[in-house]
Structure 1
């Protein structure tokens, strides 16, 4: 038996615009993805008698057949005709259902990990085909990009400059269903995106960090407005909502906001607070 350890990063949607509903039921979007140094740890053991998937965390009650990691594993074995079994253990740090892409990242990391173990090119189109079948965020996590513009349903990726910053994340102790958010967005017609230049960081551009879900989510969960106000009062240069929430983040460019991080942890004991940086 041999074991391998892989890190599975979280992401932020610095920008998220919903452009219209497609005939297949999905939505076209315009988003800027950013990988951050908040990680789950994934251990894959090779040469075991049976398959096992274990999560070290609380709150995951997804049936095995519906779990993205399991789906990724099955599709990989089918695509590359593997007969060996594996034990996969995932130690969760990324909050679940928080708009940080933890499940998609775990699925992509298992695809990349298995490719590494068996000497398969991690950028082979076969893996991207699998990633697209699994979910809109999975191709970004499979990609080598630390920052990317995502179009289509998020799977059409273009490299975007990485602008260095610290991000102070506040993750409330509730989940927001992506399905609920899209169903209640009230989109009646298609629109063109507000485009972002590559010359300046998104938070330094006149339109700010647009997230089309912000009004809906803040109305449903007014507590988020209080958290946003606290971040603004702490001197960040911008505040954003990641994905459909509920995680909000403050952007700090010049100084490491360690004292702000400690103060917010003490003040809001019922939320999770993380101080992270962008990956490059």
Structure 2
């Protein structure tokens, strides 16, 4: 029976995802310890695609049965076809072609400190992260194609404002600064308000009515504006700024209950 190869793959990107991507794979030695990592930088890409590139390069560089360990459930499902892949088919078709006719198993490794399989995947992760950071720093030091300055901001725009990176360190184009965000259009005068605006206006009117009712109830039972009643308890007239005792004739007005002769 041929000897099986055990390896771990990983992908990373910096400073964001997508970003300056990097992949890595690590082969286990005879004592199942991590060997020397093999890394690469495919340019501006996503982490899942970088992980798939690591699998592709691993299959190209090895022969015979192989067990691939990864922290990505996506990679495991896509490579083994246990999940129906809809994206990254260009890479997956290459991987499936390389895996045809040989035993290829993919194992998901949980990040448990007591997991004996963890050192191999950790070594691959660390190598991919380091390669992505180095690729990002190398790109940040690239000169602007227009003025030659070597200052970049984190989002890939040259601090001088002359040019920007479009698709990674290998393709630099002069596009100027980012286009300004489109301002929301203002409604023309006389245009019907939107349903949400009408709802807000209705809610505000109901709130004002509720406040008026509450103030009226503090002086006596609520009545429509202009109704005269006899106060059941003492209160305060907002018009003449005088208090009134229970039994006084009061009238409901917009500012509250007032003396009937105010």
Alignment TM-score, normalising by the size of structure 1: 0.20
Alignment TM-score, normalising by the size of structure 2: 0.21
Q: Bigger radius of gyration, 1 or 2?
A: 2
Higher RCO (Cα < 8 Å, 6 or more apart): 1
